Structure 1
Amino acid sequence: MTSMDSKVSVLMERYELGRLLGQGTFAKVYYGRNTRTGQGVAIKVIDKDKVLRVGLTNQIKREISIMRLVKHPNILELYEVMATKTKIYYALEYAKGGELFDKLSKGRLKEQIARKYFQQLINAVDFCHSRGVYHRDLKPENLLLDEYDNLKVSDFGLSALAESKLQDGLLHTTCGTPAYVAPEVINRKGYEGDKADIWSCGVILYVLLTGYLPFHDPNLMEMYRKIGKAEFKCPNWFPPELKRLVTRMLDPNPSYRITIAKIKENSWFKKGTNARKSRIESQNKDSDRASCSSEQKQEVIRPPNLNAFDIIALSPGFDLTALFQEKRQKKEARFTSWQPASVIISKLEEIAKLLKMKISKREAGLLKLEATKEGRKGLLSIDAEVFELTHSFHMVEVKKSNGDTLEYQKVLNQGLRPGLQDIVWTWQPEEQPPEQIVQPSVQTVQPEQLETLPPQQEQLP
C-alpha cells in the first residue's frame, strides 16, 4: 500500500489526491479534488524518466497539444498540466460513470441508449476532424461516461494532427486496437485519418447494439483477413436503415465509406435528435434571458486564466518545455501588469483611438485593433489578449494578426509601448530573464513568486 492509499496527499497546493483509479506502464490515475472549488477531477501522473527512456516524448507533446485543441461536451477535458523535475501531471475531467466497456460487459444495450451514445460519439469525432485531429484508437475502453450518462471520448495518446500527413497526403503509422482498426491501416499503404476513425465508429456501433465484435477470431491473421474483406453479418432484427448505416461505415474500400455528414443524414441516426435539440435550445434561451438583465446592469470583464501548460510554453528556460511544445520563432510581445483587466482594456482602447485605430472585435479579455484605410497605408490588425495569472496580476499578449510586419513594429514600439508605460510592470521577454519563472501550478502563483522559482517540492504519489 502506498502513502497515497493511506493518507490524503496534496499536489501543488491545488489538488487533494485520493484513491487510485487505474494504472498503466507509464502512468497512474488518481481521483482528486480541487481544494479551492471542491470539484472532483482525475489526476494522471506520468513518470518523466520512463517517458524519456522509451522515447515517448513526442507522444506526450502531441497528446497535450491535441487535448488543448478539442474542447467539446463529449470529449474529456484537460483542465491543466503541471510538472516537477520527475513527474508530469494532467488534471482531467472526472468521468464518474466509468468506461462504456463496463456496461457492454453486461451485454448489448437497448437500441435508444446505443443510439444516444453513438450520436454523441459521432458529434465528438466530427468536431475533432474539423480541427484536423484524428483519434486512431476509438474503442469502448476509451469512451467514458460522466455522472449524467453522457459520453466522453478520452485517450488521445495515439492521435494524429493533419500536419502529420506525408507528401502523399496520407497517414502511415500503424496503430490502434486490432479489432477496431480499419483495413487500410492494417495494409500499411497509407490511410486517411477521418475515414479510419469512421470505420472504428462503425465497429463500436455494432458492438453497442449486439454486445459482440463484428470481426473476431482467436487467430489474429484470420481476424485481419475478415476485416480486409469486411466479412460480418448484421442481425436480422437490425432495421433496414441501421443495417445500411453499419454496412456503409464498414466498407473495406475507404473511397466508398460513408462520411460523417452522410451518417448524420441517416434516418436511424436522426431519431430523437430534433426533440433533444429543442430541449437544449429552450434551456439556452432561458439561460440567455436570465443572464441578459444582469449583463445590462454591469458588463463584467473576465479574462481567461492561463493554465500551467501555457505558462510552460511561455517560459523558454523551463527544462520541461521540450516535452510540451515544438520550438518556434515567436513574434508576439507580452507585458505584465498589476492593474485590473478593465483598466488594461480601457487603456488599450484609449491608445487605439489616439493611433486612429478602430476596435473591430471585443470579447472577454480580447481586443482586435485595426488601422482604418484613411489612417494608415494598408490594413493592419493587432490582437491584444489579457490573461489572468492571479486575481490581481495579468499578462497581455500583443501580436499582429494581419498586415505589414514593419508597420506592426512601428505601432508597437512608437505607439503601444510608450502609451502603456504607466500600467506596465515589465515587458517580456526583454525584461524577464529565463530563471524568473512562475511555479507550474497557475492558481497557486503569488505575486512574490514571480521574482524567483522556488525549490521544487516532490509531493508525489
Structure 2
Amino acid sequence: MNKAKVKRRVGKYEVGRTIGEGTFAKVKFARNAETGEPVALKILDKEKVLKHKMAEQIGREISTMKLIKHPNVIRLYEVMGSKTKIFIVMEFVTGGEFFDKIVNHGRMREDEARRYFQQLINAIDYCHSRGVYHRDLKPENLLLDAYGNLKVSDFGFSALSQQVRDDGLLHTSCGTPNYVAPEVLNDRGYDGTTADLWSCGVILFVLLAGYLPFDDSNLMNLYKKISAAEFNCPPWLSFNAMKLITRILDPNPITRITIPEILEDKWFKKDYMPPVFDEKDDSNFNDVEAVFKDSEEHHVTEKKEEQPAAMNAFDLISMSKGLNLASLFDVEQEFKRETRFTSKCPANEIISKIEEAAKPLGFDVHKKNYKMRLENVKAGRKGNLNVATEIFQVAPSLHMVEVRKAKGDTLEFHEFYKKLSTRLDDVVWKTEEDMQEMK
C-alpha cells in the first residue's frame, strides 16, 4: 500500500482525520513529525472565537489544562496560532469514549464501576486542589486510554477559582441537564466542588444501574426531580453502594458528602490504589496570550493538499480496535458515533451518491473538497442532527468512507445511517463472501 500523503501540516505536526467536533472547535488526529508521537489537535476558528466573544473562555480552557498534570486527566502539550486558527495540542488516547462503553455493555459489575469511579474522584480531587472546577462532568467527557484507564477531558465549561465572587460561589449556569446539581439550576450561586461531586454521583449511578437517575422528556419535570433528588436505586445494588450514592446525590450541598469523606467510605476504599505521579509545576502561560495576537512572529506555518487522503496499513490499524481490521468494514456498527464502509467507486461519484441519498431524508448538504456535512433541517431530541463524512483513499481503486455524528442524538444518527445505507447499496463494496451470504 502506498505511503500516506500528508493532507495538512501545522508546524511540526502532520494532520489527519477528524476525531471530534463541537460548536467552536474541531479535533483532529495528528502526529509529531519529529518524534512520531500521536496527538489530538484541537483547531479553533479565530474569527468565530472573537466574533462570539469566546476568547476569554478559550483562554481559560487552555490555562486550565496547563495547570492540570494528572494521570486521569487529558494532558495539554502545546498551544499555537496562525492568522486564522488556534491550535491546541493534546494527549491522544486510543481507548475510545467512556460513553460508548456504557452504551455497548450496559451496567457494570461493582468492582469495575468502583475502579473507574476511584479514578474519576482522584482526578476531580486534584483539579479542585488546583482551583479548577470542571462543571460539565458526564460520560461523554470521559475517555479511556489503551490500558483502560479513565481520562477526564473537555474543560470548555471549567471555572477557575478567580471567577468565584465575593460570596464564595460561582454564578454561571452550565452543564448537561441530567448531570447538573440542583443548586446550579436554582441560580442562586453554587460551590464548584460540591456541584462537580453531584455529577460524579450521577455518573456512578449510571455505571451501576445502566440508566440515568433523573430523566424526563419535559425539562421542567426533570428539574423538579433533580431538585428533590427524586430517584430510586435498582435492587441489584449492594447496600454500601446505595448508601454512597444517596450521600452524594443529596440535594442540599451543605450536607452532601465531601471528597475526603468519600475517600474514607467503605465501598469506595475497597482495592483503592492512590495515583502516583510527578506533581512538578512547570506551566508557562506566555503562549496562551500569544495565540490571540496578529503578530507574524507568533504564527505557525500551515500547508494543505486538496485531494482524498491516502491511507497506509498503519493508519488502518490505528483506526480500528486492536489489530482487528474487520470492524472497519462493518456496514452496521450498533451504538457507535461513527461508522465506515469501503467503495470501489470514484471519490466524486461517492459524494454525488451520498448527496442524492441524504436530501430525500431531509438533510441539507454542504461540500468541501472530499468532505461533506449533512444537516437535518428538523430539530431532533438534541437539536439538529449533523453528520460529517470524509473519503480516504486506501488504494488507487478503493476508498473508505467515514460517516460520523458531529452533533445531535446518537440514536437518531443510527436511524439515519440505516436509511442512508439502504440507499447506498450500489456504492458499498461487497466481497465475494458478502455476495454468497445474500443469495
TM over 0.5: yes
Q: 1:84, 1:458 within 8 Å by CA — same for their partners in 2?
A: no
Distance in 2 (CA, whole Å) between partners of 1:306 and 1:257 is 33
Secondary structure of the residue aligned to 2:16 is strand
Report the Cα offset of residue 312 of structure 1: 5.8
- Out of 4, 22, 45, the residue aligned to residue 20 of structure 2 is 22
Aligned counterparts of 1:146 and 1:459: Cα–Cα separation in 2: 30
In structure 2, C-alpha distance between the alignment counterparts of 1:155 and 1:148, rounded to whole Å = 20
Task: Give SS of 2:26's match.
Answer: strand
CA contact (8 A) 1:32 1:40 kept: yes
Aligned twin of 2:292: 320
Shift of 1:9: 3.1
> Partner of 2:66 in structure 1?
68
Q: Which residue does the alignment assign to 2:35?
A: 37
Match of 2:188, SS state, is coil
Aligned pairs for 1:41-440 (under 5 A) are: 41-106=39-104, 107-273=106-272, 276=273, 310-311=286-287, 313=289, 320-321=292-293, 439=298
Structure 2 CA distance for partners of 1:167 and 1:306, relative to 1, 3 Å: closer
- How many Å separate the matches in 2 of 1:100 and 1:114? 12
Post-superposition Cα deviations, 1:344-375, rounded to whole Å, max 9, x if no partner, equal: xxxxxxxxxxxxxxxxxxxxxxxxxxxxxxxx
Deviations 1:382-426 (Å, cap 9, x if unpaired)? xxxxxxxxxxxxxxxxxxxxxxxxxxxxxxxxxxxxxxxxxxxxx
TM normalised by structure 2 equals 0.64
Counterpart-to-counterpart distance in 2, 1:264 and 1:319: 40
Query: What's the offset of the Cα at 1:237?
Result: 2.1
**Does structure 2 retain, via aligned residues, the 8 Å contact 1:104–1:211?**
yes
CA contact (8 A) 2:133 2:192 kept: yes
Distance 1:34 1:304, change over 3 A: farther
Per-residue CA deviations over 1:415-455 (Å, capped at 9, x if unaligned) read: xxxxxxxxxxxxxxxxxxxx7x85556xxxxxxxxxxxxxx
Task: Pick closer, same or farther for the CA change 1:70–1:102 going to 2, 3 Å.
Answer: same
Secondary structure at 1:105's aligned position in 2? helix
Native 8 Å contact 1:41 1:93 kept in 2: yes
Counterpart of 1:253 in 2: which secondary structure?
Answer: coil
Letter of the 2:12 partner, please give it: R
Deviations 1:209-259, CA, capped at 9 Å, x for gaps:
111000011111101100000000112222222111100100000000000
Change (3 A) 1:59 1:439: closer
Residue 392 of structure 1 aligns with which residue? none
- 1:241-284 Cα offsets, whole Å, 9 max, x none, are 211110010000000000000011111111111xx45xx88xx9
Q: CA deviation at 1:304?
A: 10
Structure 1 consecutive aligned stretches of length 4 or more whose deviation exceeds 4 Å: 303-307, 437-441, 456-461
Distance 1:29 1:188, change over 3 A: same
CA apart distance, 1:7:
4.5
SS in 1 for 2:69: coil
Residues in 2 aligned to 1:92 and 1:117: alpha-carbon distance in whole angstroms: 22
Cα 1:153/1:460, change in 2 over 3 Å: farther
Amino acid at match of 1:181: V
Distance 1:116 1:321, change over 3 A: farther
Kindly indicate whether the alpha-carbon contact (under 8 Å) linking 1:11 and 1:460 is maintained by their aligned counterparts in 2.
no
Change (3 A) 1:212 1:440: same
Letter of the 2:286 counterpart? D
Aligned mates of 1:207, 1:218 — CA distance in 2: 18
Cα deviation digits, residues 81-103 of structure 1 (max 9, x gap): 11101000111111211110001
Cα gap change, 1:25/1:253 in structure 2, threshold over 3 Å: closer, same or farther? same
Is this contact kept in 2: 1:311–1:438, CA < 8 A? no
Aligned alpha-carbon RMSD (Å): 2.5
Note the residue ranges of structure 1 that are not aligned, 5 or more in a row: 1-5, 285-302, 323-434, 442-455
Distance verdict in 2 for CA 1:222–1:19, change over 3 Å: same
Equivalent position SS for 2:197: helix
Q: Once the 2 structures are TM-superposed, how far is the Cα of residue 179 of structure 1 from its aligned partner?
A: 0.1
Q: CA deviation at 1:13?
A: 3.6
SS of the residue aligned with 2:166?
coil
d(CA) in 1 for partners of 2:282, 2:5:
31
Alpha-carbon distance change, 305 to 132 in structure 1, aligned in 2, over 3 angstroms: closer
SS of residue in 2 equivalent to 1:98: coil
8 Å CA contact 2:249–2:256 kept in 1: the answer is yes
* Contact 2:173 2:187 (8 Å CA) reproduced: yes
- Which residue of 2 is the match for residue 9 of structure 1? 7
Q: Which has the higher contact order (CA 8 A, sep 6+)?
A: 2
Q: Equivalents in 1 of 2:79, 2:103: separation in Å? A: 33
Q: Do the aligned partners of 1:182 and 1:199 also contact (CA within 8 Å) in 2?
A: yes
Q: Is the 8 A contact 2:180 2:195 kept in 1?
A: yes
Per the alignment, do residues 21 and 108 of structure 1 end up closer, same or farther by CA in structure 2, a change over 3 Å counting? same
TM-score by length of 1: 0.61
Indicate the SS of the match to 1:8.
Answer: coil
Q: Which runs of 5+ in 2 are unaligned?
A: 307-439
Give, in angstroms, the shift of residue 36 of structure 1: 1.3
Partners in 2 of 1:304 and 1:161 — Cα distance?
Answer: 17
Q: What's 2:391 paired with?
A: none
Larger Cα-atom Rg: 1
Q: Name 2:381's counterpart in structure 1.
A: none
Q: Aligned partners of 1:112 and 1:227: how far apart in 2?
A: 27
One-letter identity of the residue aligned with 2:192: G
**Take 1:321 and 1:136, find their aligned partners in 2: how far apart are those partners?**
29
